[in-house]
Amino acid sequence: MDGILNIDKPAGKTSFDLVALVKRLSGERRAGHAGTLDPVATGVVPVCLGRATRIVEFLVEATKTYRAEIELGIATDTYDAAGQIVERHSSALIGRDELTSTLNSFCGPIQQVPPMYSAVKQQGRPLYKLARAGITVPRRSRLVEVHRVEVVNWQPPVVTVDIVCGKGTYIRSIAHDLGQALGCGAYLKNLVRLRCGPFDIRDSLSVAQLEDAFHNGYWLYFLHPVDSVLLHWPAMVVGDQAGTEIRHGRPLALTNGACRTGNDSLGPPAEASPSAKRCRAYDLDGQFIGVLRFNVEREQWQAEKVFV
């Protein structure tokens, strides 16, 4: 049961609810999700099982794509539809050009203040617990990366945008900050995660499909291999001796652009040069062995995670 399920989370369920469901259906105790979605949001939540839980950290770092409906003229305390309305203003004078220009200002590396209703911890306590107690505290801004913001529909006062971003980006905060920048307020009316790393919503399983697949014994057809998350990295194919070294956690020396242990040459492709931080390793049968990390000072490839 080592692999990843691409699940389309329904509204009202938490990401942890999906993990609990998969554990119950599969009987696999080792399971975890790669990227929390708010309960009101829907879309892609990858759930990793077995040894695939060891690559969650790489999937969390993956680029994500969202489709967000943002309503102008209203602000809520949670920055989304689950909250209480705290402001109302007219947005009638906001045109598409001003809207697009303001949205574009959120592209690139930006400093973002997380919402009070979030899991970010301050002095050991999640912010949402303080918010529920009626306590608002100053929050430190964090650097996040927004790769692209594109308007796909504009039906005033609601604008629909596709947002491609990196780890830790709060789409709710983008909606709120957009409203502040326009001077009319705004909140996130609806959110769908379209993509998380290599996992696309078009290939995802609904909860009903997931349950049917488990009950009728064909769920393995939907289990993605552990290394599917890492396919954008360079790869090495190693011989038996080097494979044994990797499995035992021994470093592999790099000589004249190739990794060698004894007489066994790994010969990595050009992309797996010393400037590369990590690569995938496979044996001659095509079996995924693990993740190697390059140590520049020692000029060695070191096994970081071994999967066989």
Query: Does residue 38 carry a catalytic annotation?
Result: yes
Question: pLDDT tens, 26-35?
Answer: 999 999 998 8
The dihedral built from the CA positions of residue 177, 182, 187 and 190, taken in this order, carries a sign that is negative
Closest CA to 247 of 285, 298, 291, 286: 291
Domain 64-196 and domain 233-306 have a common topology:
no
Q: Which of 8, 38, 177, 227 is catalytic?
A: 38
In eight-state DSSP terms, residue 115 is: P
Query: Does 210 score more than 60 pLDDT?
Result: yes
Q: For 103-121, how does the pLDDT look when each residue is reduced to its tens digit (9 = 90+)?
A: 999 999 999 988 877 777 7
Of 4-18, 241-255, 290-304, the one with minimum mean pLDDT is 241-255
Place 264 in a pLDDT band, splitting at 50, 70 and 90.
very low
pLDDT band with cut points at 50, 70 and 90 for residue 256: very low
Confidence of residue 276 (pLDDT cuts 50, 70, 90): low
State the CATH architecture for 64-196: 2-Layer Sandwich (3.30)
Question: Domain boundaries in the chain?
Answer: 3-62+198-229, 64-196, 233-306
Task: Tell me how far apart the alpha carbons of residues 281 and 260 are, in angstroms, rounded to a whole number.
Answer: 14
What are the tokens at 263? 């007489």
Whole-number Å distance between alpha carbons of 250 and 259: 12
CA 168, 174, 180: angle at the middle one, nearest 5?
145
> pLDDT digit string (tens) for 121-155?
776 777 777 777 777 777 888 999 999 999 999 99
* Amino acid occupying residue 169: T
CA atoms within 13 A on the CB side of 114: 20
Comparing CA positions, the residue from 173, 226, 306 lying closest to residue 4 is 226
Task: Give start and end residues of each alpha helix (H) in 183-292.
Answer: 207-215, 240-247
Long-range contacts for 14-22 (Cβ within 8 Å, ≥24 apart)? 14/39, 15/45, 18/45, 18/47, 18/207, 19/47, 21/207, 21/210, 21/211, 22/47, 22/49, 22/210
**pLDDT value for 258:** 41
Q: What dotted CATH number matches 3-62+198-229?
A: 3.30.2350.10
Of 187, 180, 177, 192, give the one whose Cα is nearest residue 157. 187
The angle formed by the CA atoms of residues 183, 37 and 65, to the nearest 5 degrees, is 70
**What dotted CATH number matches 233-306?**
2.30.130.10
